[in-house]
Amino acid sequence: MLTKAQVRTAVREYIDDPGAKTWSDAALDILISMTQDNLWGDILDTASYWNSFYQLITSASYHAPGYLDLRPTGDGGDLTNRLYRIQKFIANGREFYPKDSRDFLLNAASSVGLTTVTAPIEQNYTYEILGDQLWFHPLGTTANPGFIELRYSYRPAAFTSIADGTTVGFVDGCEHALVLTAAANAMHRGDEEDPGKFLSLAFEARQRLFATIRRKYHGPTVPFSVSNPIEMGSI
Amino acid sequence: MKQLLSEARFDFRGGRVTSISPDLLNSNELVDATNCRIDSKYGAVTKRTGCQRLHQTAAPAAIKGVVQWDGPSGKQLVKIANGHLYYRNGFTLATAFTDEGTNVFSTTVPAFFMPFRDATSGAPLVLFIASGGKLFKWTGTVLTDITGTTTAADRIIAYHTRAFARNVNYKKTIFWGKVGDATVFTTGTKTDGGSALVNVLNGEEIIALEVIGSSLLMAAEDSVMRFTGHATDDIVISQDTEGISSEVGAVGPQALKRFENVAAMLNERGPYVVTETAVEPIGEQVLPDFDALDTTVLSSSVVGWNRGRKELMFCVPGSGDGSLNKTIYSQSVRLQAWQGPWNYSFGITCGARYEDTNGDEFWITGGSDGFLRHMDIGAKDDVLYDGSGGSNITMVAELPPLHFGRPGSQKVLSHIKLQAILPVGNNLTAGVAFDNAAFDNGYFVNATTDGILRDYRVDLNGYGYRLRTKFTDSSAVSPTIYGLRVNAYDMGRP
């Protein structure tokens, strides 16, 4: 686990800019932050539940006529973390499913932002994501549940928003992928220098990262095998 | 990937040049050399040396004259201040100067000194002093006013075994004394004293006297005359258009100074060198600097000669010097290159050659604050007599703008590879600025400062077209820059 300062210093060493004359700390932090988010997208596409968070939302926290603000609370939303993908939505104990986007005609009421709905014209027990908002049906205060349970994958706190001494949210032991990819991006500045070798190294580190996140156990065992798969080199 | 461009500077022997567009300067010249000196190892540039007070207690008033001469007890320092003569034998700075006691010297105009033998052949060396219309003889311990038997001198100089003087009441006439006897100026035979009116055509008074080769130079405001000959039957005074110059003269009594076999002179048109036949301008590289001086007090300028360094010193009143000579423009005579301005906190009123206890040659000055100072010692200014105190000197060396061979094309900086001696405690900065932006200091990577010539990497930042590079140090030590290579990428953008 590396701290923010350690990651930044490692990137500086790779790009040979110890005095911050090419990249200021602020600019480099933004670059590392973008790189971190990109890699987290790859991580969560490969291992959907690597960062999965369960959040209970009470009726007081969602919005009439029936939607959640998917932004983090720090940005004025309802979520504790930075949403990547919704994994499960349960309202009042009933699981909702993503609305079929082909039901666009029935979508009209919520799409135009009606706040009073007298007839349940939407397909019940579905949700749809409109920008930063997650609308769930049926709408209306009488149909609103008392509580919502949400599970979603998320990106950790942005690199730019944490303190120098705070541990960077990343796959433990695989920070090299973050450092090298950020270094390769930094070398691109102004198309001055060739980032090719850094890209090669970053690719290797990224492959190791994926190998790490695919599974956390050693794999299936084979009955009556003379040895376990690890020893046979199959993992 | 962009092309890496590189431009090197390993020679600063051209010195300061301000009279030519910075973009037109030669690669070995400097836009600014404030408090810099072209190093004794030619090619490098370093901080000028500092100065140290030669005694503990200030004289009661500004020093009006100083000389080191070979007195009866060896080297003796003599200074004139507040109407008094003060003297000290030897080289011990802790020893106080002795006040001769009488109040007879001018407190307003400079005193001039002439070591000369006494009245008879084989007599010991004595010091003659002209001060505001009086001529004195100083034996090293006894002061005698000899104005009555000589002339009301305010200038004195030895030439061809005679003393030559300007009379304060007859400033267009040169007076001379008896051969081998500076105490007698009375006329008579051709070996006795005499006088001659000079500068007849334009009528300007004699300003300064100096001797070079076989000639006595007499500088007026706008001319330099030549006096040659031993006696009345062979004396020739070449003046006006027949003289050395009918165009330029000396701005003040201390603005004409012999060095080696010629003389340096300050004219309101800049510095010149005077030979026995002609004058030559020597300050064309820095004329704007001389043009910017405080001309209202330019006549108090002092031209000095640091014999050990082989450097000319033009102590002049800068525009911000409060009517004092707080600024020196120095010329390295061997390179004929300029250094400076050298900025001081005190005014310089006079100067003299100085030989230290080891026989090494230097230059000392008298100050408006009553102190004598060794002007070529250490790395701090105005150090006290005991070596304590003093103030740091800030050097600034700015290179001509770099275009990397591609003016008009945008460059992005990478780094400098600097070859320099950086002593412990230095705070040298390498500032870069594109297109008149503010200077941004580079970052010394893994800088070891140990006073050894090393290679340093200085990381830079910035985009632009025309790069200015400036080295600054304000520490108590003296860094030396031997050369550098600046690296940048060509962005390929117009």
**How would you write the pLDDT of chain B (494 residues) with one tens digit per residue?**
788 999 999 999 999 999 999 999 999 999 999 999 999 889 999 999 999 999 999 999 999 999 999 999 999 999 999 999 999 999 999 999 999 999 999 999 999 999 998 877 778 999 999 999 999 999 999 999 999 999 999 999 999 889 999 999 999 999 999 999 999 999 999 889 999 998 766 788 999 999 999 999 999 999 999 999 988 788 899 988 899 999 999 999 999 999 999 999 999 999 999 999 999 999 999 999 999 999 999 999 999 999 999 999 999 999 999 999 999 999 999 999 999 999 999 999 999 999 999 999 999 999 999 999 999 999 999 999 999 999 999 999 999 999 999 988 999 999 999 999 999 999 999 999 999 899 999 999 977 899 999 999 999 999 999 999 999 999 999 999 999 999 999 988 88
Nearest Cα residue in chain A from B410: A190
Mean pLDDT of all residues in chain A? 86
Q: Is B1 on the interface with A (CB under 8 A)?
A: yes
Q: Could A192 and B442 be called an inter-chain contact, meaning their C-beta atoms sit closer than 8 Å?
A: no
- Low-confidence winner among A59-68, A120-129, B276-285, B328-337 (lowest mean pLDDT): A120-129
What is the structure's pLDDT at A116?
52
User: Which of A18, A21, A190 faces B2 most closely, judged by CB atoms?
Assistant: A190
Q: Could A19 and B489 be called an inter-chain contact, meaning their C-beta atoms sit closer than 8 Å?
A: no
CA distance B483 to chain A (A): 21
Q: Give contacts of B442 with chain A, Cβ < 8 Å.
A: 19, 21
What is the structure's pLDDT at A124?
79
What percentage of chain A has pLDDT greater than the value 70?
A: 81
* Local confidence band at A145 (pLDDT 50, 70, 90 cut-offs): low
Q: Give contacts of A184 with chain B, Cβ < 8 Å.
A: none
Q: Is B489 on the interface with A (CB under 8 A)?
A: yes
Give the 3-state secondary structure of chain B. Answer: CCEEEEEEECCCCCEECCCCCHHHCCCCEECEEECEEECCCECEEEECCCCEECCCCCCCCCEEEEEEEEECCEEEEEEEECCEEEEEECCCCCCCCEECCCCCCCCCCCEEEEEEECCCCCCCEEEEEEECCEEEEECCCCEEECHHHCCCEEEEEEECCEEEEEECCEEEEEEECECCECCCCCECCCCCEEEEECCCCCCCCCCEEEEECCEEEEECCCCEEEEECCCCCCCEEECHHHCCECCCCCCCCCCEEEECCEEEEEECCEEEEECCCCEEECCHHHHHHHHCCCHHHHHHCEEEEECCCCEEEEEECCCCCCCCCCEEEEEECCCCEEEEEEECCCCEEEEEEEECCCCCEEEEEEECCCCEEECCCCCEECECCCCCCCEECCEEEECCCECCCCCCCCEEEEEEEEEEECCCCCCCEEEEEECCCCCEECEEECCCCCCCEEEEEEECCCEECCEEEEEEECCCCCCEEEEEEEEEEECCCC
Q: Could B489 and A190 be called an inter-chain contact, meaning their C-beta atoms sit closer than 8 Å?
A: yes
Q: Give contacts of A21 with chain B, Cβ < 8 Å.
A: 415, 442-443, 459-461
Q: Is B125 on the interface with A (CB under 8 A)?
A: no
| Residue A120 scores a pLDDT above 70 | no
Task: Tell me the residues of A at the B interface, defined by beta carbons under 8 Å apart.
Answer: 17-22, 190-194
What is the structure's pLDDT at A189?
86
Mutation pick from A17, A21, A189 vs chain B, by most beta carbons of B within 10 Å, is: A21
Q: Give contacts of A18 with chain B, Cβ < 8 Å.
A: 443, 445, 459
What is the structure's pLDDT at B436?
86
Q: Could A190 and B491 be called an inter-chain contact, meaning their C-beta atoms sit closer than 8 Å?
A: yes
What percentage of chain B has pLDDT greater than the value 90?
A: 90
Q: Could B443 and A18 be called an inter-chain contact, meaning their C-beta atoms sit closer than 8 Å?
A: yes
Residue of B76, B81, B54 lying closest to B65 (CA atoms): B81
Q: Give contacts of B444 with chain A, Cβ < 8 Å.
A: 19
Q: Could B444 and A194 be called an inter-chain contact, meaning their C-beta atoms sit closer than 8 Å?
A: no
Q: Could B461 and A22 be called an inter-chain contact, meaning their C-beta atoms sit closer than 8 Å?
A: yes
Q: Could B2 and A20 be called an inter-chain contact, meaning their C-beta atoms sit closer than 8 Å?
A: no
Q: Is B24 on the interface with A (CB under 8 A)?
A: no
DSSP A201: H
Nearest Cα residue in chain A from B487: A192
What is the structure's pLDDT at A107?
47
CA distance A36 to chain B (A): 25
CA distance B461 to chain A (A): 5
What is the structure's pLDDT at A119?
44
Q: Could A21 and B2 be called an inter-chain contact, meaning their C-beta atoms sit closer than 8 Å?
A: no
